[in-house]
Structure 1
Amino acid sequence: MFDGVKVGLPLLLKKGTELLRDIAKLARRAGVLGVADFKLADIGDVMSSSLEAIAELGYSVAIVHAFVGVRGGLEALVDRASKLGVNVALLISMSHEGSKEFYDRHFSEFLKIARELGVWGVVVPATRPRLVSEARASLGSSTKILSPGVGVQGAKYGTAICHGANYEIIGRSVVKAPDPFRAAREVIGEVEKEVRSCLTSSV
Structure 2
Amino acid sequence: MKASPIIVAIDGPVLGSCQGLVKIMTDLGDEVVGFKVGIPFIIQCGLESLAAARSRIRNGLLIADLKLADIGDIMVRVVSLVKDYVDAVIAHSFVGYKGALDKVSEKLKEWNIKLILVASMSHEGSRELYDRNLDSIMDVVKKANPWGVVAPATRPDIISLVRNALGADVKILAPGVGTQGARPGDAICAGADYEIIGRSITESPDPKKAVELIALEQEEALMRCRR
Pairwise TM-score range, normalised by the shorter structure = over 0.9
SS in 1 for 2:62: strand
- Report the Cα distance in structure 1 between the residues aligned to 2:56 and 2:218, rounded to whole angstroms: 23
Deviation at 1:196, TM superposition (A): 2.1
- Report the Cα distance in structure 2 between the residues aligned to 1:63 and 1:40, rounded to whole angstroms: 7
Q: 2:103 aligns with which of 76, 82, 86?
A: 76
SS in 2 for 1:107: helix
- Where relative contact order (Cα < 8 A, 6+ residues apart) is larger, the structure is 2
SS in 2 for 1:89: strand
Deviation at 1:155, TM superposition (A): 0.6
Q: 1:132 aligns with which of 159, 175, 189?
A: 159
Q: Deviations over 1:119-148 (max 9, x none)?
A: 111100101100101111110111010000
Q: 1:171 aligns with which of 198, 202, 223?
A: 198
SS in 2 for 1:63: strand
- Report the Cα distance in structure 1 between the residues aligned to 2:158 and 2:170, rounded to whole angstroms: 15
Percent of aligned pairs sharing the same letter: 42
Q: Deviations over 1:61-114 (max 9, x none)?
A: 101001111111111110101101011110111100111111211111111111
**Is the CA contact (8 Å cut-off) linking 2:47 and 2:82 kept in structure 1?**
no
- Report the Cα distance in structure 2 between the residues aligned to 1:55 and 1:193, rounded to whole angstroms: 37
In structure 1, stretches of 5+ residues that fail to align are none
**Is the CA contact (8 Å cut-off) linking 2:115 and 2:146 kept in structure 1?**
yes
Letter of the 2:71 partner, please give it.
Answer: I
Aligned residues: 197
Partner of residue 181, structure 1: 208
Runs of 4+ in 1 over 6 A off after TM superposition: none
TM-score, scaled relative to structure 1:
0.94
Name the one with the larger helix percent.
1
**Is the CA contact (8 Å cut-off) linking 1:78 and 1:119 kept in structure 2?**
yes
- Report the Cα distance in structure 2 between the residues aligned to 1:112 and 1:26, rounded to whole angstroms: 38
Partner of residue 26, structure 2: none
RMSD: 1.1
TM-score, scaled relative to structure 2:
0.84
- Report the Cα distance in structure 1 between the residues aligned to 2:61 and 2:220, rounded to whole angstroms: 23
Task: Summarize the alignment of residues 55-94 of structure 1 with structure 2, pairs less than 5 Å apart.
Answer: 55-56=83-84, 58-94=85-121
